[in-house]
Amino acid sequence: DSGVTQTPKHLITATGQRVTLRCSPRSGDLSVYWYQQSLDQGLQFLIQYYNGEERAKGNILERFSAQQFPDLHSELNLSSLELGDSALYFCASSRGLAARSSYNEQFFGPGTRLTVL
């Protein structure tokens, strides 16, 4: 158990709908990362937040958005869902942004499996 929690574990929805995925980082971690893993592929970095502020963006679609709240939990919002959005969505957290430190070790949550029908 990494200490990172994600809810829900599974989500089934229809095309065109909107869903929200939730992530709670490890106690004390200020940074949250979101990744998408499509079937039989590696993880694609989507976005990173640090202490409530967006710090880095990867290949995140405009239909997707995220935020980190004052209690440091984060939500990933996916809208106008398409079949191709079906994937496993991972959240990871790390203590901070220090360049060369164990504090920047990322710990992954168990993921949320999204199925778009």
Partner 1 sequence: AQTVTQSQPEMSVQEAETVTLSCTYDTSESDYYLFWYKQPPSRQMILVIRQEAYKQQNATENRFSVNFQKAAKSFSLKISDSQLGDAAMYFCAYREIYNFNKFYFGSGTKLNVKP
Residues that bind partner 1 (CB under 8 A): 2, 31, 33, 35, 40-45, 48, 50, 55-56, 58, 88, 90, 92, 94, 97, 99-100, 104-106, 108, 110-111, 113
Q: Which is nearer to partner 1, 14 or 99 (CB)?
A: 99
Please state the closest distance from residue 72 (CB atom) to partner 1, in A. Answer: 17
Please state the closest distance from residue 2 (CB atom) to partner 1, in A. Answer: 8
Q: Which is nearer to partner 1, 61 or 79 (CB)?
A: 61
Four-residue CA torsion sign, 97, 76, 39, 83: negative
Please state the closest distance from residue 94 (CB atom) to partner 1, in A. Answer: 7
Burial of 114 from C-beta contacts in 10 A (0-12 / 13-18 / 19+)? buried
Q: Which is nearer to partner 1, 78 or 87 (CB)?
A: 87
Please state the closest distance from residue 14 (CB atom) to partner 1, in A. Answer: 23
d(CA 107, CA 117): 30
d(CA 53, CA 74): 11
Q: Which is nearer to partner 1, 61 or 88 (CB)?
A: 88
Beta strands, E only, the chain: 5-7, 10-13, 19-24, 31-37, 43-50, 53-57, 64-68, 74-78, 87-94, 107-108, 112-116
